[in-house]
Structure 1
Amino acid sequence: MSNPGTLDGVLAPVLTPFTNTLMPHLPLFVGLARHLMGQGLGLAPFGTTSEGNSLGVAEKVELLDALVGAGLDMGRVMPGTGCCALSDSVALTSHAVKRGCGGVLMLPPFYYKNPSEDGLFAAFAEVIERVGDDRLRLYLYHFPQQSQIPITHGLIERLLAAYPATVVGIKDSSGDLANMETMCRAYPGFKVFSGTERFILPVMRAGGAGCISANANIHGPAMLDLWRRWQEPEAERLQADLGVFRAIMEGMPLIAALKALTARRTGEYGWRRVRPPLVALAPEAEIQLVERLGQAGIVL
């Protein structure tokens, strides 16, 4: 198991279930969170996989409070709190800190394109200053394909210089392994998480902290096994095995596919629901996905 109360290892970006009126389904959410944490995984709710930008601030607060009420180890939770509105980012981040979360994962404000480095620094600095809590541990979220706003090395260096005890790491979902390796080596003590299980082994070899991958909702134990054993002779084979699952899932609309697999695993049909503009996985596509996983020897 990853260390209790810490945010190293493998974190699952927890899927968000919805009722038939498309409101967050708290019992299913808590059930999945407990299942994932019971496997030794940390939790990273309200990011891309969680449909986080389709959820309002009040909904995220309610979901976070449900985890607290369930008695889960909040030191192993890294909720996404980066919003376009400064006040929303501050409110969510403050609530996460007060609820004992081990850290927060923060997108840059992503609506206005081509912002200056000065502007992005100010955006993160304003959140940190307004939260004003020494317990805050902020992880940057670098996902330029989705946000269109990259987290540059220059920005990281400025934030580390200004807030060395607060800005402590990054999730890199760019798919750029060289960027991850460079950050691991350039910023000692800065926790670098790969956004794909394809790179767990090379990132750990470069000095990284672990992985935060959508597929951990289904395939997390295999990722955690590699993270634990990355220095063993079997590591290359374990990494290759993870690539098989990843390749199958990359041929599908990822969130809808993960929800369909979760519905099959749990027997709860409601897991198939997504919020518009996403659409649920078509039944024929779900059957094909399960068949491909079975052919690869992967059992849910």
Structure 2
Amino acid sequence: MATPTKPRGVFCAALTPVHDDLSPNHAAFTKHCQALLNDGLTGIALLGTTGEANSFSTAERQGLLEAALKAGIAPEKLLPGTGVTALTETVALTRHALSVGVTNVVMLPPFYYKNVTDEGLFASYAEVAERVGDSRLGIVLYHIPQFSTVPIPHDVIERLMTRYPGTFVGIKDSAGDIKNMLAMVERFPDFSVLAGADPLMLPLLQQGGAGAITATTNLVGADLAFVYKHFNDPSRKDQVEAAQARVVAGRNRASTYAQMASLKALVAERHGDQGWLNMRPPLVKLTEEERAALLAS
């Protein structure tokens, strides 16, 4: 079985295709994951915000992870999201990942209750670690307060790393604040700080960051992978800057309208599969007018 490592590189926050009846489309999902790996990405971060994870049941999430493995994707290439509001379901999803050989997971804080104290947040993550009780487990914290409204303070990170050495291996920071990321790089040198916003990966790497988990890699993964591979090579400076410019342009294009619906519209074009337009409510696809304007941009 794979063993947990501190994740480094470029991981795609993969979209999740659904059939017309809104059930997960395993065949389209695994085809897309394989295309992303062919783009040169380090791995796939499935079932996160971009993957509409919180619209899927525990069984559906487990089925998607198993489908990726059945399609031949190596366990060490996968970073499934396992954090949900219910403690016992977070434990179940995390145990399931370990049971199929996937040792690193991305974990949201419990996000229904607001104004959660540092003690409550620490207790929640600690309880998961205790109940799973597996030395193979590597947890990547997921800091996205604009969605979760539960930020992950640095003091909580330090307590978790001290109490469970080797278990809390990194963080995906999707708040868009480069200063927060750089502060973590400085305070926690043995911790993978991964940018959740494509344009911030390069400045983060230049200061010792570990890479990125981003949505736009569904479209521009090859460029972001190139930036990661060559960011520290002076002879490739112009090529890195050109690739970075394409990454930023791709992100801006996908943000013209609702981001996830826009990404699905663009991925539908990439794969020639209009089924990718489907979204599970409450999210909705772009209007025909919006999609035409996006594709023409």
Deviations for 1:179-233, whole angstroms, at most 9, x for unmatched residues? 0111111101100000011111110011111011111111111111101111132
How far apart, CA to CA, are the structure 2 residues paired with 1:258 and 1:126? 36
Aligned residue identity for 1:211: A
How far apart, CA to CA, are the structure 1 residues paired with 2:230 and 2:89? 40
How far apart, CA to CA, are the structure 1 residues paired with 2:25 and 2:255? 27
Contact 1:6/1:76 (<8 A) preserved: no
Deviations for 1:1-30, whole angstroms, at most 9, x for unmatched residues? xxxx97321111111111111111111111
How far apart, CA to CA, are the structure 2 residues paired with 1:287 and 1:180? 37
Task: For residue 286 of structure 1, give the secondary structure of its aligned residue in structure 2.
Answer: helix
Task: Give the number of equivalent residue pairs.
Answer: 288
Aligned to 1:295: none
Q: 2:284 aligns with which of 276, 279, 284?
A: 279
How far apart, CA to CA, are the structure 1 residues paired with 2:125 and 2:220? 33
Deviation at 1:122, TM superposition (A): 0.7
Is structure 2 residue 15 aligned with structure 1 residue 15? Answer: yes
Deviations for 1:131-166, whole angstroms, at most 9, x for unmatched residues? 111110000000000100001111111111111210
How far apart, CA to CA, are the structure 2 residues paired with 1:6 and 1:207? 14
Task: For residue 212 of structure 2, give the secondary structure of its aligned residue in structure 1.
Answer: strand
How far apart, CA to CA, are the structure 2 residues paired with 1:6 and 1:67? 21
Task: For residue 211 of structure 1, give the secondary structure of its aligned residue in structure 2.
Answer: strand
How far apart, CA to CA, are the structure 2 residues paired with 1:122 and 1:48? 24
Is structure 2 residue 152 aligned with structure 1 residue 151? Answer: yes
Is structure 2 residue 28 aligned with structure 1 residue 35? Answer: no
Q: 1:240 aligns with which of 239, 245, 269?
A: 245
How far apart, CA to CA, are the structure 2 residues paired with 1:240 and 1:39? 17
| 1:155-166 matched pairs, under 5 angstroms | 155-166=156-167
How far apart, CA to CA, are the structure 2 residues paired with 1:15 and 1:241? 20
Contact 2:13/2:45 (<8 A) preserved: yes
How far apart, CA to CA, are the structure 2 residues paired with 1:66 and 1:215? 23
Task: For residue 208 of structure 1, give the secondary structure of its aligned residue in structure 2.
Answer: coil
Aligned residue identity for 1:35: A
Deviation at 1:240, TM superposition (A): 3.1
Is structure 2 residue 174 aligned with structure 1 residue 173? Answer: yes
Deviation at 1:239, TM superposition (A): 2.5
- Tell me, which stretches of 5 or more residues in structure 1 are unaligned? 293-300
Aligned to 1:297: none
Task: For residue 134 of structure 1, give the secondary structure of its aligned residue in structure 2.
Answer: coil
What TM-score do the two structures reach when normalised by structure 2?
0.94
Deviation at 1:100, TM superposition (A): 1.8
Task: For residue 72 of structure 1, give the secondary structure of its aligned residue in structure 2.
Answer: coil
- Relative contact order (C-alpha < 8 Å, sep 6+): which is higher? 2
How far apart, CA to CA, are the structure 1 residues paired with 2:248 and 2:30? 29
Contact 1:43/1:76 (<8 A) preserved: yes
Aligned to 1:209: 210
Deviates more, 1:35-44 or 1:117-126: 35-44
| 1:99-178 matched pairs, under 5 angstroms | 99-178=100-179
Task: For residue 251 of structure 1, give the secondary structure of its aligned residue in structure 2.
Answer: coil
Contact 2:216/2:247 (<8 A) preserved: no
| 1:254-293 matched pairs, under 5 angstroms | 254-292=259-297
Contact 2:114/2:149 (<8 A) preserved: yes
How far apart, CA to CA, are the structure 2 residues paired with 1:104 and 1:77? 8
Deviation at 1:281, TM superposition (A): 1.0
Aligned to 2:52: 51
How far apart, CA to CA, are the structure 2 residues paired with 1:94 and 1:75? 16
Contact 1:6/1:102 (<8 A) preserved: no
Deviation at 1:75, TM superposition (A): 0.3
Is structure 2 residue 31 aligned with structure 1 residue 26? Answer: no
Aligned to 1:194: 195
Task: For residue 246 of structure 1, give the secondary structure of its aligned residue in structure 2.
Answer: helix
Aligned to 2:256: 251
How far apart, CA to CA, are the structure 2 residues paired with 1:252 and 1:212? 21
Deviations for 1:240-279, whole angstroms, at most 9, x for unmatched residues? 3322222222222111111111111111111100010111
What TM-score do the two structures reach when normalised by structure 1?
0.93
Contact 2:255/2:262 (<8 A) preserved: no
Percent identity reads 44
